[in-house]
A and B are shown apart, each in its own frame.
Chain A
Amino acid sequence: MLTLHNLAFERNQYKVFNPVNANLKKGEVLQIRGDNGSGKSTLLRLLTGLLEPHHGAILWENQSIAGQKDYYQQQLQYIGHQNGIKSYLTVFENLTLQSVLAAKPTTPAAIHLILEKINLKHAMHTQAFYLSAGQLRRLSLAKLLLYSTPLWILDEPTTALDWEGQQFLMTLLTDHLSQGGMAVVATHQSLPLTGNTLQVERTHD
């Protein structure tokens, strides 16, 4: 259960967005909508604990994440604007490295399976900078299949994805939610999933 309580963040002493309140339960998606530059990415980064809010609080299981940051960060997976893929490593190596970093050991067989699912098995030993933007985005989403966590925080995951990719993402999300997971997704388009929508507005001074 994730709760946002009067959350606000300042940059250069300007409020980036108006204070927000929201609630997220198991099996739900919190969709973050807003214009470009309205502070969606900042809000998502606040939710990952990488940024600290200036006002308000983020509660996980009714406890502030500030006091349990390490534990909380193990409960989530974050895919930001950037892909988190190292260009000079191969697709296979990237996934191996991600599993190593997350301390969730995996087997080559499991990685093969994941690559099949995202339709990148043929590019397994290609260095990432040879991939197209859409392929890179799919690869960044592959992390979600490596290991499971209750909370997903996705910043505009549909960027650069073609229709097939978007279908894949929807399947991912639906499966995740049906297994009791929850997700916060910043998106331009409305996703047909249960949950609330949070409109983030940039403050005008």
Chain B
Amino acid sequence: MISALFSMMHHEIQLTRRQAFAWLTPLLFFVMVVCLFPLTVGPDDALLHKMAPGIIWVAALLAIIISLSNLFRQDAEEGYLDLLLLSPYPLTLLVLCKITSHWILYCFPLIFITPLLGLSLHLPAHEIGILMLTLLLGTPVLILLGAIGAALLVGIRGHGLLLPVLIMPLYIPVLIFGTNAAVAASLHQSINSQFAILGALLLLNLGFAPLFTGIALRMGVNQ
């Protein structure tokens, strides 16, 4: 079964890589949003340094939400969702596969480009490192929660910004602890509690979110 799941992930990744520009658009969006901030609040070093964790986190959050709209869209249009629902494998695991491939495809580039953006916002190296770690732990949670929203909205045309509106309140804890870890690092304070909570959130959502996403997918097929 494990090999089957890996095979599925491999196909998902192949699929998205082939739509090269569609795949990298959220990354471009991420970079652009971050660049908007120096333009609006001014290039002052200290201010940008202070705001940097928040800017990067919010921009990443927005980019991820945008990428989530497409999580199940193509599958629903192509009739592929039925295959997932009729498969003998538990839907929860198949959903987890999709979510993992989505995370690998969309969040790794984000995390890798963060150092560049961090430097442009005058973040010192070790804070960039902490920020990247928070993104590593926090972005899976964003995708896990967002998948529930994406599954609920599958098959509804023109829902526009409903997905962000629906799941952004749920993102607030991750946002708070993610950014605060970076801020605490800059003040040379302990970051253990923040990372502990981020880890806990990740585990909690790993347990619940794929299950709820599966339930939502079964509902959505009734449209």
Contact = CB atoms under 8 A, between A and B. Distances in A.
B222 to A, nearest CB: 6
How many chain A residues sit at the interface, stated as a range, is 20 to 34
Nearest to A48: B86
Given A50-B85, A100-B8, A82 B15 contact: no
A98 B83 contact: yes
A57 B183 CA distance: 60
B82 A80 contact: yes
Interface stretch (A18-26, A70-78, A111-119): A70-78
Given A93-B11, A100-B4, A100-B8, A50 B87 contact: no
Given A50-B221, A101-B87, A103-B87, A78 B82 contact: yes
Contacts of B1: 103
Interface of B: 1, 4, 7-8, 11, 14-16, 18-19, 74-75, 77-80, 82-89, 94, 218, 221-222
A127 B4 CA distance: 22
A145 interface: no
A137 B86 CA distance: 20
B78 A87 contact: yes
A84 B218 CA distance: 17
A191 to B, nearest CB: 22
Interface in A78-121: 78, 80-89, 93, 96-98, 100-103
Nearest to B89: A103
Contacts of B85: 50
B79 A97 contact: no
A10 B7 CA distance: 39
A80 B79 CA distance: 8
A66 interface: no
Contact of A89 (B11, B88, B94, B221): B11
Contacts of B218: 50
A172 interface: no
B4 A86 contact: no
Contacts of A127: 18
